[in-house]
Structures are given as structure tokens and as C-alpha cells.
Amino acid sequence: MELVNGRPENEEGRLDKEIRVYDLLDSLGVKYQRIDHEAAMTMEACEEIDRTLSEGEENGVAICKNLFLCNRQATDFYLLLIPGDKPFKTKYLSAQIGSSRLSFAKPEYMEKYLDITPGSVSIMGLMNDHEKKVQLLIDEDVLKDEYFGCHPCINTSSLKIRTKDLVEKIIPAMGHDPKIVKL
């Protein structure tokens, strides 16, 4: 695995949704680094990727769990960013957002609203949520690191982005106001 700057030189064989992520980042003037790898379906599989993204960084890169949640009626949807090593307890989140009975949303909703499949969930999918059906929730600890890591809507590449750029450029461009939570 090799950490490279910017988008792939050869985009052949890459999905449109991945290319749209690079187009968005480039249009915003966001500098990023990328690593291509085998499909990463679990947090454990991300450990080697994390080490490569963190090379040369004193504090590493915040690789977080991206949880796609919904209420019992499947009428309210949430994308929660939480540190990968932090346990998730629904009762603490439910109290902060005023929505009880949270559970993982079905894959078809993930594809419908974010154009993402399980294992590829990423904040970058919010660029595909044109109807603003998904509320972005960010655990406060995610914002403490200098760098943020995420998938470009597929789980065979990972990106390293400055957290400041995520908050000040990328999220506003996607039109989703985040709610900061403490878990």
C-alpha cells in the first residue's frame, strides 16, 4: 500500500461515485492523500490502512466508524461518525438527538440516500443526499485530530483529509449541518 497525493492518475475501472468524490474535493481546493487497498469491511481490516495513512504524523489519522442509523419507523436517518475504538451505546445518542429506538438502517436506504453499499459507509456519501434525508452526527472526539480518514464512497480506497477542511469546506459544500454529540 502506498500513500499518494490526490486523485488516481488512471480512473479506468473506478466507479462514478468514487470519481465524483475526487471531483468535489478538487473543486473545493481540498488537498488529500489516497491509498488503494483490498476491500475493508471491518474496523480490524482498517488497522493496516490506518497505519499507512498515519505515516509521518505525530497524532495519526482519525479513522472512525461510520454508522448509518434510523428510527424504528425508518422515517429519520442518521450518519454517525464516532472514533473507531469508542463503544457505541444507542441510549446515549438517543437522548441527545431526541429519537428513541435507533437501529442500523437497512442497506437499501443506504443505497437510496447515500449511493453507498455496506462496508463503504462514509461522510462523502452525503454529497449524494440531495433531498437532505440524512442528519449528520459527529462525536466531538472525531474533531480533535488534525487529520480525518474516510472512504471515497467505496471500500477499496481511503482518503486522508485535514479535519479543518472537512469541517470548513467539505461539509458545508454538501449542505448538511452537523450535530455534534458526546458519546
Domain with 114, as residue range(s), is 4-181
Note the pLDDT tens digit of each residue in 168-179.
999 999 999 999
Q: Which residue has the cell 443506504?
A: 110
Return the C-alpha cell found at 89: 451505546
Q: List CB contacts of 83: < 8 A, sequence separation 6 or more.
A: 62, 64, 65, 139, 141, 142
Task: Tell me if 88 sits within 8 A of 67, measured CB to CB.
Answer: yes
Q: Tell me phi and psi for residue 88, to 5 degrees.
A: -110, 125
State how many domains the chain has: 1
- pTM, two decimals, is 0.90
Residue 124: per-residue pLDDT: 97
The domain spanning residue 8 has which CATH number? 3.90.960.10
- What is the C-alpha to C-alpha distance for residues 2 and 121, in angstroms, rounded to an integer? 22
Burial of 117 (0-12, 13-18, 19+ CB in 10 A): middle
Q: Which residues contact 88 (CB under 8 A, 6 or more apart)?
A: 65, 67, 80, 82, 183
Question: pLDDT band at 3, cuts 50/70/90?
Answer: confident
pLDDT tens track for 9-61: 999 999 999 999 999 999 999 999 999 988 866 666 667 777 777 776 656 67
Question: What is each CA distance from 101 to 72, 74, 75, 91, 135, in whole angstroms?
Answer: 6, 10, 12, 8, 16
pLDDT-derived band at 91, boundaries 50, 70, 90: confident
Q: How far is CA 129 from CA 4, 100, 122, 140, 183, in A?
A: 28, 23, 12, 23, 25
